[in-house]
Structure 1
C-alpha cells in the first residue's frame, strides 16, 4: 500500500498507476495512458523540487504561481497538523470556526478601501465563480434583472468552472468545450507587445478605453453588471496593461454602476510585493477582489473573495429584501485550510517577505530583461516576482506561430535538463518563483534559461529552420 511505502515509494509502480488511471489537467488525450509524459515529483525544499530520477530543480513557476514561502515550511505543516487534530471540519451552513473568523479579519486588514467582508471558497475558480454569482444575486435583489452582462478580456484566465471558463479568453482553453454564454462579452487584451503596428503606447491605451466604453454602449449600461479583470493577465503571458489603464476603466465602471472585480488569484499575497496589488501597484480600489493560490502558499486548497462595505450595504440589513446569498461549498472556510493560511501569513510577516520582494524584484526584472538581447527573444516583461520571456522566430508575424510554440517547448526541455522548471505557455516561458528567492538563485535561474535559449537557437539554425 502507498501508506506502507512511506518515503521509499516504488516509483515504477506509482508511474504505472498514473499511466493507467490518472487524468491530469490539460491532458493530451492522444497520449493518455502512455509513458514518458509528466515527471513524478517526490520531495521539495525552499525553492527546489526533486523528481523520481533524483534531479533537483529550481521551481521557476513557484508551483502554479502559489508557493510564496517555499516548500517544507515547518510552521505551516505544524498548523495543519494541529488544526486537523483539534477540529478537522465544521459545516459552514450551520456553524463557523475560529481559523475562518480570524483569517477573515486578517484579510480585511490587508484589503484596500472598505473591502472588509470575506467569503471563502475552495480555490481560484470557485472564488471567481462565487464573485460572479454575487453579481447576479446583487442585481436581482436591486430589481435589475437585466444587468448581468460580464465584460472580460481576450487572453484573460479566470478558472475552470463553466462560468469562469466562459469568462476566460485564452483560445487554448476553449476547443471542444461549449463555453459561449450570451451574457459574456470580450474586449481586446491589453497586450502592449502585440499592439497594432505604428501605434504608440499612449494611443493604444486610448484605443482600449474607447473600446470598453463602446462595448458598454453597444450592450447598454443597464445590461452590464461587471467588469472582470486580472491586474496583469497571468496565464495570458504576463500582459501588463499600459499605465493608467486600470484607473480609467474603473472610472467608467463607477459612471455606469458596473462592479469592478479584480481577479488577484495570481497577484495576491505578495507576488508583487504587497498583500494585494490592486491599489499599491495598479492604483485602484475595486469593488471585489478574488484570491487563492498564495493565501496558503499552495499547502492546501483555499480561495475566496473580499468585498466592499458600499456594495454589500445595498443588499444587506434594511436593504436585504428577504434575500439569502445561498452560494456556498461544503469546504467553505475549512478550518484546516484557514489555519494553514494564518500560519502562511505569519511566516510572510515574520520573515518580512513583502519587503524582500520589493527589494529583490527590481534585480529579478533587471536580470531577466538581459535575455532580450538574444535573437530568439521577442519580448521580456514582468513586474514583482513574475515575468515572461516571449520567443519569436518571425518578427514580421502579428501573432505567435506554431513554430514559435515548438521553440518554447524546446527551451522548456533544455531548462529541465539544466535544473530549472519554467512554465511554457504557447511561445512564452513564464517564471514566478517563491518569494524567498535570493540574488544568487536568481542568477542561477537566469543563467540556465539563457543557456537553454541559446541551445535552442543553435539547434533550429543547424536544422535550417531559422
Structure 2
C-alpha cells in the first residue's frame, strides 16, 4: 500500500499524468494483453476529447481516427449528452429490471423499433456488443427449446468475423489470433469463408466468388442438416476483420437460405448501426435484408455510456406466446439491463443523429471513400476499401501475390506510430489500418486525416526499405 500511496498526488487532488501511467503499469490489466506484459504495461494516455479530436498526455492533439472504438459517432464533448446524463442520474440513477422499469428504456425501445426493418419491434437491452450477441444466441437456444427442437442449436459464422469477448460470442470470432490461446464453444460453431473479395481465389470473378460463398453456405446447411442449425450471425460489413464489404446481393441470398431453412438470421450491427453507414441500421436501408434479430451497441450512445441490445422479430415472440409452454422462462438478464441513464443518453444521441448527423454522414461519406482511395497510389498499399464512414487500408508486400507482409506483422503499428507523431490516431490491425472517424468530420478534416495517413505510410515504406524487410 505504501507504494500506491507514494504515487498518489496530495490529498484531495487527482493523480497527475505521470502518476496515472505508473499506476496503470502496476495495477491495470489492459484488454487483449500479451502474457509477457500482462498487468505491467501502460498504453497511450488520453486526457481530453473535443469534436473529432483527442489530446494525449503530452499535449499532442490527434484526429480520433477510430472514433474511440467505432463508437464516438457524434463526437467528443457534446454538452447535450453530458447534461442528459447528469439530469437523468439526478432524477433516477438506477432501477432493478427484474421487477421494475423506467420510462427512458420504453421510449427508446419504441424509437429504435421505428428504425428497424421488417417486424423487428421489441428490444432487450444489454451492456455492450458482446453481451448483445450473447443474448441473441441465448434467445435462439431458448426459442428452439420452447418449440421442441433442442437439437437445433448450431451457429454459422464466418472467417474474419468479430462478434465479442464473452465465451459464446467470442466462439464465433473468425480471426485466428483471437483464438490462438483462448478456448471456445467449438462444438456449437461452424465457420464459413470470409466474404472478402480482395482475398478471393486468384482469377475468380466477383460473380463467381459470390456464387461460391452462397453455395458453400447452402451445402453446409444440407450437409449438417437444417434441423441442427439454429442461427447465422453476420456483420453487414466485417469491421474488425478489416472493413470487409461483401459482394452485392450476397447478404440477400444468405437471408433467403436462412428463411427457407428456419435458421434465425442475426445481423450484428454493433459497428454499422447508429449512423456509421448513414442510417440508424444498415441491414434494411443499405443491404435490403430483414433479419430475425439485430444486435447493437457502441454508437447507440456514441460511447458516452455502456449500452447495447438486441431487436427481436415480433414473429418469434408471437410463436413463443402461442407455444404449449407458457411458463417457460427466458432465464437471462443483466444487472444493468435497461439502465435509465444509458437509455436517456441514447435518446438524446438519437435526436442528434436524426436532426443532422445522419444526413451529414450520407453527404460526406462519398468524399471520405474517394480520398482514402487515393492511397492506392502508394506501392505498399494493396487495397483501400470501405463503406459509409468506415474504411481500411490493407498493406501488402506485393500486389500480385497479395502477401500480407509476413516478414513484418507490425506494419499497421509502424504506420500508427508515425501518424501519432503527425497528429492522427489509427486503428492498426497487423497489416491493415482501419479508419472510422466521428460522423461529424468535415471535408477539410478528411483531407487532414488522409494527408497524415499518406505521410505515415510513406515513412513506413522508407523504414522497411532501410531495414531490408521490403524492397517496394
TM-score range, shorter chain: over 0.9
Q: Work out which of the residue numbers 11, 24, 32 in structure 1 matches 2:17.
A: 11
Summarize deviations over 1:105-152 as a string: whole Å, max 9, x none.
110111111110000000000000000000000000110111111000
The answer for the alignment partner of 1:310 in structure 2 is 315
Summarize deviations over 1:27-72 as a string: whole Å, max 9, x none.
123124556x411111110000011111110000000000010000
What secondary structure, in the 3-state scheme, does the structure 1 residue paired with 2:104 have? helix
In structure 2, how many angstroms separate the alpha carbons of the residues matched to 1:149 and 1:93? 30
For the 8 Å contact 1:75–1:347, the answer to whether it is kept is: no
Deviation at 1:91, TM superposition (A): 0.4
For the 8 Å contact 1:405–1:428, the answer to whether it is kept is: no
What secondary structure, in the 3-state scheme, does the structure 1 residue paired with 2:407 have? helix
In structure 2, how many angstroms separate the alpha carbons of the residues matched to 1:100 and 1:289? 17
The answer for the alignment partner of 1:53 in structure 2 is 58
Residue 98 (str. 1) matches residue 106 (str. 2): no
Deviation at 1:175, TM superposition (A): 1.6
Summarize deviations over 1:78-120 as a string: whole Å, max 9, x none.
0110111111010000110011111111101111111100000
Report the more deviating stretch, 192-201 or 312-321: 312-321
Deviation at 1:348, TM superposition (A): 1.8
What secondary structure, in the 3-state scheme, does the structure 1 residue paired with 2:122 have? strand
The answer for the alignment partner of 1:338 in structure 2 is 343
In structure 1, how many angstroms separate the alpha carbons of the residues matched to 2:430 and 2:468? 22
In structure 2, how many angstroms separate the alpha carbons of the residues matched to 1:391 and 1:380? 9
Report the more deviating stretch, 100-109 or 456-465: 456-465
Q: Structure 2 length normalisation: TM-score? A: 0.95
For the 8 Å contact 2:391–2:434, the answer to whether it is kept is: yes
The answer for the alignment partner of 2:191 in structure 1 is 186
Deviation at 1:4, TM superposition (A): 3.3
Residue 75 (str. 1) matches residue 76 (str. 2): no
Following superposition of structure 1 onto structure 2, how do residues 280-299 of structure 1 map, counting pairs within 5 Å?
Answer: 280-299=285-304
For the 8 Å contact 1:119–1:306, the answer to whether it is kept is: yes
For the 8 Å contact 2:30–2:39, the answer to whether it is kept is: no
What secondary structure, in the 3-state scheme, does the structure 1 residue paired with 2:107 have? helix
Q: Work out which of the residue numbers 347, 350, 355 in structure 1 matches 2:352.
A: 347
In structure 2, how many angstroms separate the alpha carbons of the residues matched to 1:293 and 1:355? 20
The answer for the alignment partner of 2:388 in structure 1 is 384
Paired residue total: 462
How has the CA–CA distance of structure 1 residues 72 and 4 changed in structure 2, closer, same or farther, with 3 Å as cutoff?
A: farther
Residue 407 (str. 1) matches residue 433 (str. 2): no
Following superposition of structure 1 onto structure 2, how do residues 428-443 of structure 1 map, counting pairs within 5 Å?
Answer: 428-443=432-447
Summarize deviations over 1:289-327 as a string: whole Å, max 9, x none.
000000000001000010111121111256653222221
Q: Structure 1 length normalisation: TM-score? A: 0.97
In structure 2, how many angstroms separate the alpha carbons of the residues matched to 1:465 and 1:147? 50
For the 8 Å contact 1:273–1:355, the answer to whether it is kept is: yes
In structure 1, how many angstroms separate the alpha carbons of the residues matched to 2:468 and 2:172? 41
In structure 2, how many angstroms separate the alpha carbons of the residues matched to 1:33 and 1:318? 50
For the 8 Å contact 1:392–1:404, the answer to whether it is kept is: no
Residue 327 (str. 1) matches residue 335 (str. 2): no
For the 8 Å contact 1:21–1:33, the answer to whether it is kept is: yes
In structure 2, how many angstroms separate the alpha carbons of the residues matched to 1:55 and 1:401? 30
In structure 1, how many angstroms separate the alpha carbons of the residues matched to 2:101 and 2:293? 23
In structure 2, how many angstroms separate the alpha carbons of the residues matched to 1:445 and 1:284? 33
For the 8 Å contact 1:153–1:169, the answer to whether it is kept is: yes
TM-align CA RMSD: 1.4
